[in-house]
Amino acid sequence: MSCNITSGISTGCNDQVGGIVGIHYFQWYPDLVVEKDANGVIIRIYRESAPMFNMHWLYVQADNGMGSVTETYNVGGTGNILGFHQSASFFIPETATPSVGDRNLNEFIEAIATQNNLVIGIETQDNGPMESYSQKCFVFGLERPAYCASGSKETGVVYGDNNGYTLELAADSKEPMQEIAYMAMHSYNLLERLYDPNGVSYLTTNTIWNLDKVASYEGANVSLYDPPFLPLMRRNLLIQPGETVTYEVLVTADWSTDAFSGTTFLPQIAATGSMTTPFYEFFVMDTSFYPIPTAPGPAIIQGKVSFTNTGSTVRSSEIVLRGTTPSGINMNTPPFVPSITFLTITRST
């Protein structure tokens, strides 16, 4: 935002300040792995020593004007940029109750105040129901860990004064804040079960997954769809024009004999969407940690796919069977209920 000195100058000043709704954080590790999509947006962060587990982001609510983030460019005498200082400030009222462990508020403040090894995520808009997906989120502390830079306690004097704590988390970086997908901070344990109202046990071109956990974060980006000539309601993910969507999943199932031809694994999975001409994008299978099964029984497969919507809004089914003979693969349910775990379910423009 511009100050009085730069008022009327379109480029503004060297500080960028914006309102936020929340701050995410986790402990920095030296073996962090960062994945980005084709637009350079971070879609997943995990440890090299634990590649099947996304980082567990903790959360501080900072809406209602109680939080802001500032990035300052440190400029040298000749105009060259020497570095970037990021700062996230937020207020916690005395009445707040931490949801982390069994700590009380004073213990939580003490723990945060001594931190010097954090990664900070900035959420600019909650993706609740009927919210848009246009707001960007940011992260800092990946290059050099963030730390608690300052803090204060206010008791208030008259009615309406703040009564609580103000904390500032900061980092010094060689690069500016990076954009991170909203769902990259909400994908610690996104496990979804097969939608099984009538004993469905086949992976087909119309397989439905519950998407209960996904819906709690994706909000209005999950539609309840009643397709013509098909008996079941299903949830679909909406992909807006210009969005790039990335799915990376683990599919866990008790694969039956019809999933194999000898030792060859037959199922091919894809993401599909309804457009004027329906599309199918095949997942690229990753066998680094889960080899392709060669015999019937419980097994996990891992795959990743990205799709950029260049047309109108797409209603997407994220995991279906495609290009396989036979047309349906028995997944031996019940009692073993197939599931998908989203390692990545992110979008950017």
Q: Give the whole-angstrom CA distance, residue 249 versus residue 281.
A: 14
pLDDT of res. 92: 85
Q: What are phi and psi of 114, to 5 degrees?
A: -95, 5
pLDDT of res. 234: 65
Cβ distance 49 to 58 under 8 Å? no
Of the ranges 135-139, 168-172, 320-324, which one carries the lowest mean pLDDT score? 320-324
Q: How many angstroms separate the Cα of 40 from the Cα of each of 28, 34, 35?
A: 21, 11, 9
Beta bridge pairs of residue 272: 280, 317
Task: Give the full edge-to-edge strand order of the sheet including 15-19.
Answer: 15-19, 67-75, 81-93, 164-173, 147-154
Q: Are strands 22-27 and 15-19 parallel, antiparallel or unpaired?
A: unpaired
Q: What share of the chain is helix, strand, coil (3-state, %, to 5)?
A: 5, 45, 45
pLDDT of res. 249: 92
Q: Give the whole-angstrom CA distance, residue 148 versus residue 114.
A: 7
Q: Give the whole-angstrom CA distance, residue 144 versus residue 244.
A: 29
Q: Give the whole-angstrom CA distance, residue 304 versus residue 247.
A: 6
Q: What is the mean pLDDT of the chain?
A: 80
Q: Give the whole-angstrom CA distance, residue 31 versus residue 135.
A: 29
pLDDT at residue 15 tops 50:
no
pLDDT of res. 300: 92
Of 145, 162, 170, 188, give the one whose Cα is nearest residue 57: 188
Structure tokens at 348: 């950017």
pLDDT digits (tens, 9 = 90+) for 22-37: 889 999 999 999 999 8
pLDDT at residue 3 tops 70:
no
Tokens 């079960």 correspond to 193
List all residues 6 or more positions away from 94 whose beta carbon is below 8 Å from its beta carbon: 105, 163, 164, 165
Cβ distance 128 to 170 under 8 Å? no
Structure tokens at 313: 């809004």
Average pLDDT (302-325) is: 82
pLDDT digits (tens, 9 = 90+) for 157-204: 777 677 888 899 999 998 899 999 888 998 888 888 877 655 566 777
Cβ distance 146 to 184 under 8 Å? no
Structure tokens at 191: 């496990």
**Residue 190: Cβ within 10 Å count:** 21
pLDDT of res. 226: 60
Q: What are phi and psi of 245, to 5 degrees?
A: -110, 135
Of 209, 335, 205, 339, give the one whose Cα is nearest residue 273: 205
pLDDT digits (tens, 9 = 90+) for 86-132: 999 888 888 777 776 667 888 888 888 888 999 999 988 765 544 44
pLDDT digits (tens, 9 = 90+) for 259-301: 888 999 988 888 887 655 567 788 999 998 899 999 998 899 9
Torsion of CA 304, 306, 312, 317, to 10 degrees: 0
